[in-house]
Copies of this chain bind each other. A is one copy, B any other.
């Protein structure tokens, strides 16, 4: 069912410093900051030959990554995103297996403009998993 690893998301307290780390220290190909007001984050993409790293900074007072950053003040890996061919079929398979889908269970448009769902970390080895329609 799961296909490509679309991205690994790293939440960071200081996006400019994170850009410097990935661009200057690690020599990666780093995008400009893209505000995603409707998701409460600023995003930066590091393009690797086979996948992407998504650097996430908090945007606004109710950012969904604010609590994570309180617990991880230096930053940390926030989630993994796997592509699936059919997100509704994937959701139904997961629910049938007893896994928990976060929120209403209805896909919403993610940062790439494609339908996404998030899965409960307790059902996936302590990792927050995003599924994105390929």
Contacts and interface: CB of A to CB of B under 8 A. Distances in A.
A52 B28 CA distance: 20
B18 A48 contact: no
Contacts of A55: 125
A111 to B, nearest CB: 18
Interface in A83-132: 93-94, 97, 99, 121-127
Contact of A27 (B24, B93, B122): B93
B18 A2 contact: no
User: Looking at chain A, what size class is its interface with the partner chain?
Assistant: 35 or more
Nearest to A128: B77
A33 interface: no
A1 interface: yes
Interface in A68-86: 72, 74-77, 80, 82
A82 B5 contact: no
Interface of A: 1-5, 8, 10, 12, 18, 21, 24-28, 48-51, 53, 55, 72, 74-77, 80, 82, 93-94, 97, 99, 121-127
